[in-house]
Amino acid sequence: MKILGINAYHGNASAAVVCDGRLVAAVEEERFNRVKYAAGFPAEAIRYCLKEAGITLGEVDHVAVPRNPYARLGTKLFYAIRMPSFARERAKVLVKFTGIREALAAAFDVHPQKIKATFHRVEHHQAHLASSFFVSPFEEAALLSADGLGDFASSMWGTGRGNRMEINDAIAFPHSLGLYYSAVTQYLGFLKFGDEYKVMGLAAYGEPERMEAFREIVQFSPNGGTFGFKLGLDYFTHHRTGPEMSWAESDKTPVLGRMFSEEMGKRLGGPARQPEEPLEQRHRNLAAALQARLEEVYLGMLRKLAAKTKAKAVCLSGGVAFNCVANGKIFDQTPFEQVYVHPAAGDAGLAVGAAYYIWNQILKKPRTFVMDHAYWGPEYTKEEIRRAMDASDVAKGGYCVMELPEPELMRRAASIIGDGKILGWYQGRAEWGPRALGNRSIVADPRRPEMKEILNRRIKHREIFRPFAPSILAEKTGEWFEKAHPSPFMTLAYAVRPEKRDKIPAPTHVDGTGRLQTVTREANPRYHALISEFERQTGVPVVLNTSFNDNEPIVCRPEEALDCFLRTKMDALVLGDYLIARTEPRSVISNR
Ligand SMILES: [Fe+2]
């Protein structure tokens, strides 16, 4: 039984293939077309997934699309009458959705009737919930999708048991924790899609101020009819104008329209910050309050969810589930003892969720798969890597290139990191989701406080307030962090133990936390070996890990890794079994 999940015409377009209940491949379209958060139809992602599964489009039994135009039809019609332009936009998307079969046929150059698969529509949040529960290790769990907006709802909760999910409640448009965060993010002068995560980093530099205002901007829902919250709509515009999301440059990068009203400025003490204006302490404090209020509401919802379900485990998805700072507080502030966050908790993950919704919920098949690693994307052969090197400037001289057996490769790579150099680390299959987890990573020495500034200046060109993340040997987590619960997908932030903070200053955020990746030998043997070797050489079982890119989607092919290495000031690159260094060999590749 072969199921193709497709997230199309929506940010983070993606595809996934599930064969007989096992995930075979999952990837975002942005990795191929090189447009961050790309929307549109994910033809290349589908092509890759089918190739990885060794099947043709004609052999697919089911196609699952995570959108149901008929969900919350009453609410949609109510707003369509009030917002005709918004209704027109949605109608256009609907037309595209009804043409998924045709789009697939066109992409694969076959007649639509040659596609034998049954097509399914799965409601957005049910696909989110399925993406986390059906691939989690839990037999029973509480489920929460905390999100911006999808199928006219922002959040949904339920319970999962065996191969069934039961939906209990949802919060409908216009009330949305994700849109709340986006609106205040815009007010603070960060206007790009995805900038919410920058503001989450900024929040650690402030002290919450005007909390009473934020408690009006997002209010706990008093009627008990939902488990959550409502927005103080005076501070927003999206309920009047529609949540405008357009796709710049012909259906590519998503762009959000302005969502906050003049009232927000009045209540928060001044006009919105323009992107080019300097960041002041007031902005940091407002970011801290934004985050603090999110945590109050999010953790409050989780407490209610725990009380209603009596579950000890919770599965999280939706864009808000990427708030690793809030997630890290779940263990102390809710009764939940176990947490699973899908590595692609945002809308990319809908492709996997929709496919598993069909397999488990619709076809009632038993669960046999746990997503315990995130390496579901493309891999390139040694020959392909060699060809990419031969075709690049690396072959023109001035670089030291060595093919090394694994122990030697690890020894030299770890010593390069320990010498304070920046190392590109490219191995195996690409990660699913927005985090680099040791296959498409840039790694550096966590012991050096200056590494953050060096990485930013030489390679990443990011705002200085954004933290870098640590990868730690899973078995050492409790020695270095105040929590030891696994965080394999970098979706939880824990406090670094106070006595360890000055040992790993580079990936320790200003508030003493780290958005850690716990690395097991089973999930990624080579990355585990690298960190183990770094520990052997330095006594520290941690490396700084940031994604292998420079303001672009994470590199996918070896050509892109080489290109990023060559155009930035990275010192060395490990590409499969090859070590490439840009300076005179002995100075970089010391033989420790
Ligand atoms: Fe979503």
Q: Separation of 289 CA from ligand 1 center, angstroms? A: 24
Q: Separation of 470 CA from ligand 1 center, angstroms? A: 27
Q: Separation of 268 CA from ligand 1 center, angstroms? A: 28
Cα–Cα distance between 561 and 548 in angstroms, integer? Answer: 7
Q: Separation of 586 CA from ligand 1 center, angstroms? A: 50
Q: What is the pLDDT of residue 592?
A: 45
Q: Separation of 512 CA from ligand 1 center, angstroms? A: 30
Q: Separation of 432 CA from ligand 1 center, angstroms? A: 16
Cα–Cα distance between 432 and 91 in angstroms, integer? Answer: 31
Q: Separation of 12 CA from ligand 1 center, angstroms? A: 10
Q: Separation of 516 CA from ligand 1 center, angstroms? A: 24
| Beta-bridge partners for 290 | none
Q: Separation of 155 CA from ligand 1 center, angstroms? A: 9
Cα–Cα distance between 490 and 522 in angstroms, integer? Answer: 17
Q: Separation of 447 CA from ligand 1 center, angstroms? A: 37
As to burial, measured by CB atoms within 10 angstroms (0-12 exposed, 13-18 middle, 19+ buried), residue 162 is exposed
Amino acid identity for residue 194 in this structure: G
CB-CB contact of 325 with 203 (8 Å): yes
Q: Separation of 343 CA from ligand 1 center, angstroms? A: 14
Q: Separation of 13 CA from ligand 1 center, angstroms? A: 11
Backbone angles phi, psi at 4, to 5 degrees: -110, 120
Can the peptide bond before residue 174 be classed as cis, meaning omega within 30 degrees of 0?
Answer: yes
Q: Separation of 147 CA from ligand 1 center, angstroms? A: 5
CA atoms within 13 A on the CB side of 284: 13
Q: What is the pLDDT of residue 96?
A: 66
Cα–Cα distance between 410 and 577 in angstroms, integer? Answer: 10
CB-CB contact of 554 with 31 (8 Å): yes
Q: Separation of 235 CA from ligand 1 center, angstroms? A: 23
Amino acid identity for residue 510 in this structure: V
Q: Separation of 261 CA from ligand 1 center, angstroms? A: 24
Considering just the CA atoms, what is the radius of gyration of the chain in Å? Answer: 23
* 73 Cβ contact list (under 8 Å, min separation 6): none
Q: Separation of 69 CA from ligand 1 center, angstroms? A: 15
Q: Beta-carbon neighbour count of residue 184 at 10 Å?
A: 28
CB-CB contact of 467 with 494 (8 Å): no
Cα–Cα distance between 193 and 179 in angstroms, integer? Answer: 12
Amino acid identity for residue 262 in this structure: E
* 311 Cβ contact list (under 8 Å, min separation 6): 140, 141, 142, 159, 305, 336
- Model pTM score: 0.94
Is the Cα torsion angle 357, 358, 362, 366 positive or negative in sign?
negative
Q: What is the pLDDT of residue 97?
A: 62
Q: What is the pLDDT of residue 586?
A: 44
Which H or E run includes 73? Answer: helix 73-82
Q: What is the pLDDT of residue 224?
A: 46
Q: What is the pLDDT of residue 480?
A: 98
Q: What is the pLDDT of residue 95?
A: 64
| Beta-bridge partners for 256 | 245
Q: Separation of 310 CA from ligand 1 center, angstroms? A: 26
| Beta-bridge partners for 230 | 219
- What size, in residues, is the chain? 592
Cα–Cα distance between 528 and 151 in angstroms, integer? Answer: 40
CA 145 remoteness from chain centre: 14
Q: Separation of 242 CA from ligand 1 center, angstroms? A: 17
Cα–Cα distance between 159 and 454 in angstroms, integer? Answer: 46
Q: What is the pLDDT of residue 490?
A: 97
HEC string of 192-227? CCCCHHHHHHHHCCCCCCCHHHHHHHEEECCCCCCC
Q: Separation of 45 CA from ligand 1 center, angstroms? A: 19
pLDDT tens for the chain, 592 residues long, are: 999 999 998 889 999 999 999 999 999 999 999 988 888 899 999 999 999 999 999 999 999 999 877 777 777 777 667 676 666 666 666 666 668 898 999 999 999 888 999 999 999 999 999 999 999 999 999 999 999 988 888 999 999 999 999 999 899 889 999 999 999 999 999 988 889 999 999 999 999 999 999 999 999 876 545 568 999 999 999 888 776 666 665 556 677 788 999 999 999 999 999 999 999 999 999 999 999 999 999 999 999 999 999 999 999 999 999 999 999 999 999 999 999 999 999 999 999 999 999 999 999 999 999 999 999 999 999 999 999 999 999 998 889 999 999 999 999 999 999 999 999 999 999 999 999 999 999 999 999 999 999 998 888 888 889 999 999 999 999 999 999 999 999 999 999 999 999 999 999 999 999 999 999 999 999 999 999 999 999 999 999 999 999 888 999 999 999 999 999 889 999 999 999 998 654 445 544 4
